[in-house]
Structure 1
Amino acid sequence: MNTGVLYILVCGSPIARDVGILVRMAQHDGWDVCVVTTPDGRKFVDARALQQQTGHPVRTYYKSPGDSDVLPPADAMIVAPATVNTVNKWAAGITDTLVLGLLVEAYGYGVPIAVLPYTNNVMALHPSLHESLAKLRDWGVQVLYGDHIYQLGGPGQTDRFRHQFPWRRALQAVSDPVRMTSRVEPDVVS
């Protein structure tokens, strides 16, 4: 089964260390997977292992003018883990990283996107995060966030819930966006 090309866009979070789990699941489901990281996201991943796993270079920065694309075009994207910084910049249309540039372009191309924001439970209370997530939902992004999706830890405690990060749910959201739209509930703010 060939599902298409899936971009996994990774931000700077300890959860990023486990992105190989999502890569493996997606490949099992027939996706050709490409990993793109923010500059801080790259600090958490093993780029060499991911390149070996996917067969594609792990991209972090915009290419130089005139350079050809080294990745095939995306048929779907998953942003996981997505930081508060990336979510807020994305909702504002800021493209100061390759990940953000790809997300802004993806909207124009109509590429299905799922986002799994991950932060600590104190930062999650900031109103701008919830405003940004509401914008993304309005734009058709599958936002997987809230206590009904996974729990957040306190500052410095995010690894405590690392094992329950819903990688499979993000994959389902881009594989069958209509089905996931009807199942995903609105944010639950504690």
Structure 2
Amino acid sequence: MTRTLYLFGTAAPPVMDIAQVISDVQTRGWDVRLGLTPTAARWLGPVLPDLERRTGAPVRSEYKLPGEPDVWPKADVILVAPATLNTINQWALGLTEKFVVGVVAEGIGKKIPMVTMPCVNAAYVQHPQFEQSIETLRDAGVTVLYGEGGFVPNQPGESRPYPWRAALDAVDRRV
């Protein structure tokens, strides 16, 4: 039986590693569909054809037109990583202008298992909406990997490895 993972990336530096993440997910036995925010899609523009080849499906960053068939199978689980401050807040507030946010906002109501791991610096997390958004998503049943065992904010301009393995392990546990 094929398991389908929707991997949704946003415009944070770890999205540049998404090709390797796709390979890692496939090694774990998942069929992957890649969705990106518009900015992340622009960042990855030159490699989008390769990402489509790797997944065997279109990379999506926009809603399909009304009446168009959905070319993706249903998701067994959704991983949103890296998730920016903007995406976390939009998701928690139900602001669904972006394709990936619309899918995960609806995913709460559809009871699709979901995991997210932010990628925000220590200055962004001082915004009062961020902690409220994290709690809203957790209360809605989303596994949020933030803090010990997940993503720990770094200082602005600081770079360190993104804990992709923690995100993929959490996906495996959600199914």
TM, length-normalised to structure 2: 0.92
Match for residue 20 of structure 1? 19
* Whole-Å separation in 2 of the counterparts to 1:73 and 1:87: 22
Q: Deviations over 1:108-136 (max 9, x none)?
A: 21111000100121112212111100111
What is the rounded CA distance, in whole Å, between the counterparts of 2:148 and 2:170 in structure 1?
18
Does structure 1 retain, via aligned residues, the 8 Å contact 2:117–2:145? yes
Q: Does structure 1 retain, via aligned residues, the 8 Å contact 2:146–2:152?
A: no
Q: 1:132 to 1:121 in 2, by over 3 A?
A: same
Other-structure match for 1:177: 174
Whether the aligned pair in 1 keeps the contact of 2:117 and 2:151 (CA below 8 Å) is no
Counterpart AA for 1:32? D
- Who is 1:67 aligned against? 68
Superposed CA deviations along residues 27-59 of structure 1, whole A, max 9, x for unmatched, are 011110000001111123231221111111100
- Contact kept, 8 Å, 2:77 with 2:112, in 1: the verdict is yes
**Structure 2 CA distance, aligned partners of 1:152 and 1:92?**
22
| Structure 1, unpaired ranges of 5+ | 179-190
> 1:146 is aligned with what amino acid?
G
How do residues 1-190 of structure 1 correspond to structure 2 at under 5 angstroms? Answer: 2=1, 4-45=3-44, 46-157=47-158, 160-161=159-160, 163=161, 165-177=162-174
* Distance (whole Å) between structure 2 residues aligned to residue 49 and residue 129 of structure 1: 34
Distance between the aligned counterparts of 1:122 and 1:112, measured in 2?
A: 30
Structure 2: distance between partners of 1:149 and 1:38: 22
Percent identical pairs in the alignment equals 39
Q: What do the CA deviations read for 1:91-149 (whole angstroms, capped 9, x no partner)?
A: 01111010011001111211110001001211122121111001111111110012543
For normalisation by structure 1, the TM-score amounts to 0.85
**Which structure 1 residue ranges, 4+ long, deviate > 6 Å from structure 2?**
none
